[in-house]
Structure 1
Amino acid sequence: MLGLRTTIYKVGDIQKATEWYTKAFETPPYFNEPYYVGFNIGGYELGLQPEENPTTDKIESVVSYWGVDKIKEVYDRLIQIGATAHEKPYNVGGELMTATVKDPFGNIIGLIYNPYFKI
């Protein structure tokens, strides 16, 4: 195992999702095709793929957490641009904090402030 490389979010409207994720992560895609959109987020790939049967009612079995420095600010900004609150920022021990939101397409986006983990 070499470590995490890509997190994929399935979306009903890949064009709208590309616009939303560009705004949410403040990064344009490096790869943009109708079948896949890829973003380089701090050296990790965030990918969008179109769904065959679009739904916003998604299974919550796996959550990828994106590292942030100011979790409350990022959480609030994502809500302001159309995400839905899922789990408000909370302390999970020491200085470690996590939160989750749902994107407009039903996917869970995890946020983590972890000053103990360095890349």
Structure 2
Amino acid sequence: MLRGLTTVSFFADDVTAAARWYAELLGIEPYFTRPVQGTPAYVEFRIGDQQHELGIIDRRFAPRPSLQEAGGAVIYWHVDDVEAAFERLLSLGATAYEKPVQRGPGFVTASVVDPFGNILGVMYNEHYLQMVGR
């Protein structure tokens, strides 16, 4: 039934600021932008080995009112060095949600809340590397 990740959607009150922040983090510009009334209402990045989509949507288009605090599912993006990625995210203005934790041999996770209220997870996952190697 579930065949693969297509798009991770984050919400922001200021899509332009969020796009700049993620462009700095990722080292790339969004490949797609959709304006509404002259300002970006949606931007999308393609990232990683599988070119998964990270979309940032104007919060006014969220399907439900936003919560006062970050919550919900945590989506982990593979990184080669969790500690370094976590520190870089903090240096860019994210706040710690969960500091790096070893989950077992070959599995380390951490997560932050970006400046726009979204949880961003990073993970070293040896199974991911095995799948990419196939």
Using structure 1 for the length normalisation, give the TM-score: 0.92
CA distance in structure 2 between the partners assigned to 1:56 and 1:26 by the alignment: 30
Identity %: 39
Q: Which runs of 5+ in 1 are unaligned?
A: none
Match of 1:104 among 99, 102, 115: 115
The alpha-carbon deviation at position 116 of structure 1 amounts to 2.2
Query: Which digits, 9 at most, give the CA deviation of each residue in 1:92-116, with x for residues without a partner?
Result: 0112000000000110000010122
Report the residue type matching 2:73 in the other structure: V
3-state SS of 1:35 partner: strand
Using structure 2 for the length normalisation, give the TM-score: 0.82
The alpha-carbon deviation at position 78 of structure 1 amounts to 0.6
Computed over aligned residues only, the root mean square deviation of the Cα atoms, in angstroms, reads 1.8
The alpha-carbon deviation at position 58 of structure 1 amounts to 3.9
The structure number with the bigger radius of gyration is 2
CA distance in structure 1 between the partners assigned to 2:67 and 2:114 by the alignment: 9
Higher helix share: 2
> In the alignment, which residue of structure 1 is the partner of 2:47?
41
Match status 1:2 vs 2:3: yes
CA distance in structure 1 between the partners assigned to 2:25 and 2:41 by the alignment: 21
Q: Is the Cα contact below 8 Å between 2:70 and 2:117 reproduced in 1? A: no
